[in-house]
Amino acid sequence: MSTTEQQKKRVAILGGSGFTGAELYRLLNKHPHFEVQFVSSESKAGYPVDKFYIGSIHKKKLSSLKFKKISELDGHYDAVFSCLPTSSLPKIIQHVAEHTDYIFNLSGDYRISDPDILHQHYPETLKHAFEGGWHYYIPEFSKINLEAKVVNLPGCMAVATLYTLYPLVAHDLIEGRVITDAKTGSSGGGKSTTEHHAERSHNFRAYKVHGHRHQPEVVHALSYHLNQTIDLQFSVYSLDLPRGIMATSYSLLKEHVTDVDVKKAFYSTYSSKPFLHYFNSGNGSPMIKTVAGTNYAEIGAYVDGRNCVSIATIDNLIKGAAGQAIQAANNYFGYSEEAGLTFEFEGAWP
């Protein structure tokens, strides 16, 4: 049966009026196997979806789809993509779970299972019991768990940081404390951010030196996937850019580990991953501008003696959110991992 003859999977988007929801709607509308049939927004209910999204302004034919309230979700969907703000999904998860096979969750509520960390960063997860099960899923590293109803995608800064550290930890090349600084564009704060343009424009500042919730997420992910625990100092900085993340990790190599060992570790880990570009030659370095508008990550690792600096860049709204979620859904439904995501850089250079 040809692709055009196959019935597309019915999908719903929750929280469709935010930056991530809008990006997800845009990408899914180009996907060969998924069809968006429900988009929620409590504040925009009843308003035509295509008239709200700036990205639809040049469409010759607009969709008849209108925003609905989550309470109006009915029928069955093969997948629900939740782009709701953190703490929102646990309150309604029982209702949503009744109408879908899988919930691909882009918020933080079910990323961590440790009760103490949940109490600190995601208290609503503890308040609302859910027996459907959840699974932390990184498309490049995780195994599919078909028994879990909720498939949790990593946070944008967390996954960029994981790309800088995963090969080093997996090959047991580092020791001691790891320091990561993550720089993020303004869309990472969502539409509800209280930061004024005058504070961010033509500026660069630290906005969360200690205590960011992606720090325990990175530690948890490495422990969960590799059974290794790291001591991580994680600080976050604001960039004067609308989108993009650069994560830089500083680590100490074990004695007798060489530059060649590091190159082999990164190359063997990433050479078969379609969306991860490792600068193996040493003649390039990750940039934000070359990944913005794509589902690609650029990764580099640079050694001086025992000092290793590893860098990763991604588009926070695509590889760090909407594109990563589609990549996960492709894997779960048995499609090509690259389906609907092979568009090139959609901006201009330089």
Which residue blocks in the chain are alpha helix, DSSP H?
19-28, 49-52, 89-97, 115-121, 123-127, 156-170, 197-200, 214-226, 259-270, 323-332
3-class DSSP state of 160: helix
Is 83 one of the catalytic residues?
Answer: no
Q: Is residue 178 within 8 Å of 230, Cβ to Cβ?
A: yes
Catalytic residue among 70, 89, 156, 297: 156
For residue 116, which of 213, 13, 237 has the smallest C-alpha distance?
213
Contacts of 247 (CB under 8 A, 6+ apart): 157, 160, 161, 163, 164, 180, 181, 182, 183, 311, 312, 313
DSSP state of 7: P
How far does CA 208 lie from the centroid of its chain?
Answer: 19
Just list the catalytic residues: 156
